[in-house]
Amino acid sequence: MQAELLGMAMQDLTGRTGAFAPKYSGNLELNYQNEVGQGYWLDASINLRFVDEQYLEQDLDPIAKQASYEKTNARIAISSPEDTWQVALLAKNITDEQTFSQANDVPVISYAHRFLTERGREYHLQLSYRF
């Protein structure tokens, strides 16, 4: 612990993976578009993003490991004829997954970490109008 405090701890990561390197990641998006009524358009989509576990620190500290996760977003929109106006309802991270984007050691205090959290569940209502 003394060596770590003085910044003299060494690591050999030969053969190990790196930070921010999930073994798999990907995205699936299903989209539906159709005319509803006279010239009105419905545009709906649902999106699933999946990411394998990954380390959030270069030293591969097991404390700062983000587990694999899936996040779902959805969007439904109605547009008027000629696209004059559009109303869209969005839901992001519907399952309210709690994930971290970064982690840092806190200086001097051994084992203390600071995590940056990503956004939880969100709803957005978007209105647009073209003059």
Partner 1 sequence: MSHPNDIVLGASVLIPDLVGTSLGIGADFEQDQTAYSVFASGNWRFSSDWQLNLGLRYQKEEKEVTNKQTNKQTIYTLFSDFTPEPVRQFAEVAAPSITASLSGAYANDLATDRDESHLSPSISLQCWGCENTMVFANASIGYKGGGFDGSGLNSSQGSVIDPDSGFEYEDEKATAFELGFKSEVIESVWELNTTLFLTDYDDLQVSEFNGNAFVVANAAETRVQGLEMESRWAISEHWKLNTQLALLDFEYQSYE
Residues lying near partner 1 in the complex (CB under 8 A) are found at: 4-9, 11-18, 21-34, 57-59, 104-105, 107-109
* HSE-up of residue 111 (Cα within 13 Å, Cβ side): 2
Q: Report the nearest approach of partner 1 to the CB of residue 113 (Å).
A: 11
* Dihedral sign of CA atoms 99, 103, 109, 111 in order: positive
If the CB atoms of residues 14 and 38 are measured against partner 1, the closer one turns out to be: 14
Q: Report the nearest approach of partner 1 to the CB of residue 11 (Å).
A: 7
- Dist CA 22 CA 71 (whole Å): 15
Q: Report the nearest approach of partner 1 to the CB of residue 94 (Å).
A: 19
If the CB atoms of residues 60 and 87 are measured against partner 1, the closer one turns out to be: 60
Question: Which DSSP category does 22 fall into?
Answer: -
If the CB atoms of residues 28 and 120 are measured against partner 1, the closer one turns out to be: 28
- Dist CA 113 CA 48 (whole Å): 30
Q: How many residues does the chain have?
A: 131
If the CB atoms of residues 62 and 107 are measured against partner 1, the closer one turns out to be: 107
Q: Is residue 123 within 8 Å of 77, Cβ to Cβ?
A: no
- Dist CA 29 CA 48 (whole Å): 6
Q: Report the nearest approach of partner 1 to the CB of residue 46 (Å).
A: 11
